Each structure stands twice: as structure tokens, then as C-alpha cells.
Chains A and B, each alone.
Chain A
Amino acid sequence: MKGSSHHRSRKFLLAWVLIGAAALLIAFAPFPNLHRSPSDRFFRVEAGNFAYTPANLMVNPGDRVTIELVSTDVVHGMYIDGYDLDVQADPGQPQRLTFIADRAGMFRFRCSVTCGALHPFMIGKLHVGQNTLLWRGMGLAVLLGFAGIWMVRQDRNTINP
């Protein structure tokens, strides 16, 4: 009886160590580098009616990004958070912004010219690289699910041996 309990607790500890190691791996393992060598990316972003089209720009880290801002109604701007870049475009005068996307992550860009009543809601996103936080979070959630199932089964085993 005593030996069996000792055996069980050792098994328990091993399982927890395994789960912990897997969690650390998911959270901190370097992400596989899927993208190719940096390239030139061009986006024509239309700003009008308090929105950007397209509002989601996806690039890879190291890419040379050119954004052409075209206003379709009144003067609009584009300020990219994190990169501290600003450009303003009047209708009929598209303006370009070129930069190297050297910082990975998701950055919001917003209108930098007071353009009207809905000006504060005029925002879009610049995604540089993969959204690793999302993938890691999903991995951890799945791991947590498996750990939970395993624990419930363990409990059942202890109650009804």
C-alpha cells in the first residue's frame, strides 16, 4: 500500500515536470524563421470616410516597406505607433512613406490630422512578422487543456482505484 502511494507520487511529479517543460518550451522557444530574405513591399492605402483600406498591413521583419497614402475625401494622416512615423495626404496629392520594418510586433497606425467627427476611430494595424504571442497563447491553452484532462483522470483513479 505504502509503496504504491510512493510510486504514484513519483509518477505525479514526473508528469508535472513534463508539463512544466512543455509550457516553457511553448512560451520561450525561438519561433521558426519562415520568411524569406527581406523584400520590398508596397501598399496603397486609401484613407477616406474615417477608415483605411486596407486597414491591416502584413510585412516580414526587415522588409523595406513603402506606404502610399491616398486620401479620398479630406486631408488625412497616418502615424505609426512604435515607429514614430507620420505622413499627411491631401486629396489629389498622394504621399509616400518608406521605412525598414526592423521592429517586430503589431503596431497601430492612426490618423494624425483632425479630419472630422470620427477622427479618433480612424485606426489600422501594421503587423511585422508572425503574431507569435497568439500562437504561443494557443499552444499554452491546448497544453493546459491536456493537463486538466490528465488531472481529472488521476483524481478519478484515486477515488475509485
Chain B
Amino acid sequence: MKKAERIARLFLFGLLLGLPAALIASRWYSQQISPGRFVEIHGRMPENGGWMPDEITARAGEPLHIRLTSDDVLHGFAIGQSDWPEVEVKPGQVSETTLTFAHPGTYTFYCTRWCGPNHWRMRGTIEVTGEGAAQVQSDQPLYLTLGIDIDAPHPAEIVPNRTPSAKRGAALGIEVPAGFREKGYIRRHSPVEFWRLLREAPFTLGLSDEQVWDLVAYAWISGTTPGATEQGRQLYAQNCAACHGEQGQGDGVLAPAPSSELHMEADHGLKSPPDFTDSASMLGASPALLQGKIVRGGMGTGMPYWGPILTEEQTWALVDYLWSFQFDR
């Protein structure tokens, strides 16, 4: 009797100590075979909460294992300003991905598939702590350095009567001084400013106003590369065309239609996207101003804040592409 009681006590004691010990050991073991943090993220339409959780912490240099699933519709997961491939997040399925951040800093993750009308609001952050140099910070956007007010209207007082063509501009055989064809110059000035400058320059004396516009187009297009324009075209299709329209006319499928309820509430800050084919507003804008609008977003519209998502190179590629709505190659 006494012996059986002792065995029972021993068994109970072993159970009480052994279970937690086994748990700790198994955790330690799983850390040994795949070190790092484990996070499970659920995707939901932004109206229902967006990413859950939307704030994640990680250590620099340590792998972060993410298990992704969706609670409603198809989503996509990607980290802004990075080359990590995007992951599809499907309801009823778990997608796994492992990220390792080399530098501490704040990273933004976002939804890459149009999951609902507020799709672009679906974002979250990963706070990466640790020693070492911080995430490579891109320079301050050019519009801030130049002090451009990107909310102010930018009408073009002079517009061409036909679409300026870079080809015709090149055929004029006039050598525009190299300083004016540099990115550094072009990005800071609007086409109208450049046109005025060229109009007053002695080497355009014999040219018509339209020919000067062709020259502007030539200088503008020669500042871009076909590769960057193609990259811009793809980025535009993926991120912008849904609202701004495939042809840049501000008539995308998700843009508030003039008769829609959204438009009725225009006083509350919703405006239709601008028409990129409209020279009267486009030619008064400098590339720096357009880039500022992309980076900061807002403007009292539903324009997203692309700063943490797109790299500086990508924003310039987009701006390069926008000029193709104004100038022929």
C-alpha cells in the first residue's frame, strides 16, 4: 500500500516538473533547428481590421518566420522598399516566408492585391532592433529640399497646340547646352519654365513656339532611359492605373465617378484624380513636385502615401513614365 502511494506521488511529481521541462526543452530544440522569431499574421480587409497584428518586432540579423493566412479574401504580402518576393495570402491556406533584416529600422509591409476599396490602407510595420548601422535612409525628397508646396495649384500659362515630340525636337539639330539636359536641372524645373528659358535663348530665334516645345520634349525625354520608363509603366499599371486610369486620364475603375456618392461628398475631401494628359496642369509641374506628390500622397484625395513603399529610384521611374502622357518619344 505504502509502495503504491509512493509511486503515485513520484508519478505526480514527475508530471508536474516534467511537462514544463519538456515544453521548455522542445522550444529550445526548435530554436536550435530553426532559430529566429515566429509570427502569425492574419490578413483582413481594412474595413475589418487590416493586418493582425500590424506591428511586429524583430532583431537585425535574426530570421523572422512569418506564417500568413487570410480571414476573408485574397491578399498579398510584401515589404516596402525591398526586393523580397511578394507572398500570396489566401483564405484557408497558410503561406510561409522567412525574412532576415540586415539593418535595424522601421520597415513597412503592405497588401499587394486589390482586396477592397480601401486596399491601400492595409499596411503594417516591422520594428527591427539591434546593433549596427541603421537602415540606409534615402535622402530627403527633393520637393522638401527645394521647398515646393505640392498642394498649391500649378497651372501652365502656356501650352503647346500639338503634342511635343522628342523626335521632331532632335531633328531640329539644335544643341541644347548640356547643363539643361542634366537630371539635376530638369527635375527642379517645370516644362513651362524650361520653355520660357529656351524661348528667350538666342539659339531658338528662328524657331516657332511649337518647335521650342519639341525641343523641351527632346530635353525631357533624353533625361529618361527606356529602362526606367518601362519600369515606371509597370509600376503605374500595378499601383496607379486602378484610380488614375490606364491612359492616365483620371478615369480608373476605382476613381470616384462624377455622379457617385463619393463625389457628392467632395467637400469632405474626396477629389477625382487629375488628368495626366491635360497639358494645362501637367506642364506647370516640375518632376520634383510630381515625385513629392507620389512620396507624400494626400492632397485632400485618396492618394496613398507611397514614401515607405517605393524606393527613390522607383518614384523617379514613375515620374519619367508620367511625362509620356505629355511628350512623344
Contact B114 A70 (CB under 8 A): no
How many interface residues does A have (CB within 8 Å)?
17
**Chain B proximity mask over A86-99: 1 for CB below 8 Å, otherwise 0:** 00001111100000
A60 → chain B closest CB, angstroms = 31
A113 contacts the other chain (Cβ, under 8 Å)? yes
Question: With A114-B90, A115-B74 in contact, do A72 and B238 touch (Cβ < 8 Å)?
Answer: no
CB contacts between A and B, total, < 8 Å: 61
Let me know if B113 and A90 touch, CB within 8 A. Answer: yes
Q: Which residue of A lies closest to B88 (CB)?
A: A113
Contacting pair B253 A74 (CB below 8 A): no
Within 8 A of A (CB), among B253-287: 253-254
Q: Could you give, for residues 60-79 of chain A, a 1 whenever the CB lies within 8 Å of some chain B CB and a 0 otherwise?
A: 00000000001111110000
Residue contact A75 to B241, C-beta cutoff 8 Å: no
Cβ of A54 within 8 Å of any chain B Cβ, yes or no, is: no
Query: B75: shortest Cβ distance to chain A, in Å?
Result: 9
In the complex, how many angstroms separate the beta carbon of B322 from the nearest chain A beta carbon?
Answer: 15
List residues of chain B with CB within 8 A of the CB of A71: 114, 253
> Residue A75 contacts which of B74, B237, B240, B245 (CB distance < 8 angstroms)?
B74
- A110 CB to closest chain B CB (Å) equals 15
Choose one: A73, A116, A119; the contact of B254 (CB below 8 Å). Answer: A73
Q: For chain A residues 28-68, which have a beta carbon within 8 Å of chain B? A: 48
Contact, CB under 8 Å: A74 / B237: no
Cβ–Cβ contact A74 & B116, under 8 A: yes
- Report B73-100 residues with CB < 8 Å from chain A CB: 73-74, 90-91
Any A CB within 8 A of the CB of B158: no
Whether a CB of chain A sits under 8 angstroms from the CB of B115 is yes
- A114 x B242 contact (CB < 8 A): no
- The chain B residue sitting closest to A77, CB to CB, is B74
Q: Is the CB of A74 within 8 A of B91?
A: no
Pick the contact of A90: B90, B91, B117, B242 (CB < 8 A).
B242
| Chain A residues with CB under 8 A of B70 | 114
Note all chain B residues with C-beta closer than 8 A to A48. 253
Residues of B within 8 A of A94 (CB): 246
Asked whether A115 and B253 contact (CB < 8 A) given A73-B117, A90-B114, A91-B114, the answer is no
Q: Smallest CB-CB separation from A46: which chain B residue?
A: B253
Across the interface, which residues of A come within 8 angstroms of B199, CB to CB? none
Report which of B72, B91, B238 forms a contact with A93, defined as CB distance below 8 A.
B238
B141 within 8 A of A: no
Q: A72 to chain B: which residues have CB within 8 Å? A: 253-254
Q: Are A74 and B246 in contact (CB under 8 A)?
A: no
Of the candidates B73, B74, B90, B253, the one whose C-beta lies within 8 Å of that of A91 is: B253
B168: Cβ under 8 A from any A Cβ: no
How many angstroms between the C-alpha atoms of A31 and B292 in the bound complex?
66
In the assembly, what is the distance between CA of A119 and CA of B246, in Å?
26
Q: Please, which residue of chain A has its CB at the minimum distance from the CB of B241?
A: A92
Q: Which residues of B contact A73 (CB under 8 A)?
A: 114, 116-117, 253-254
Contact between B73 and A93, CB atoms less than 8 A apart: no
B74 pairs with A114, CB closer than 8 A: yes
Tell me if B115 and A92 are in contact (CB < 8 A): no
- Given A90-B238, A93-B238, A115-B74, answer yes or no on A75-B254 (Cβ-Cβ < 8 Å): no
**How far, in whole Å, are A93 and B237 apart by their CA atoms in the complex?**
6
| 5 sample A-B contacts, Cβ–Cβ < 8 Å, listed by A number | A72-B253, A75-B114, A90-B238, A91-B253, A94-B246
Residues of A within 8 A of B (CB): 48, 70-75, 90-94, 113-116, 119
B residues in contact (CB < 8 Å) with A: 70, 72-74, 90-91, 113-117, 119, 237-238, 240-243, 245-246, 252-254
Closest 8 pairs between A and B when the two form their complex, measured CB to CB: A92-B241, A92-B242, A91-B242, A72-B253, A75-B114, A74-B114, A91-B253, A75-B113
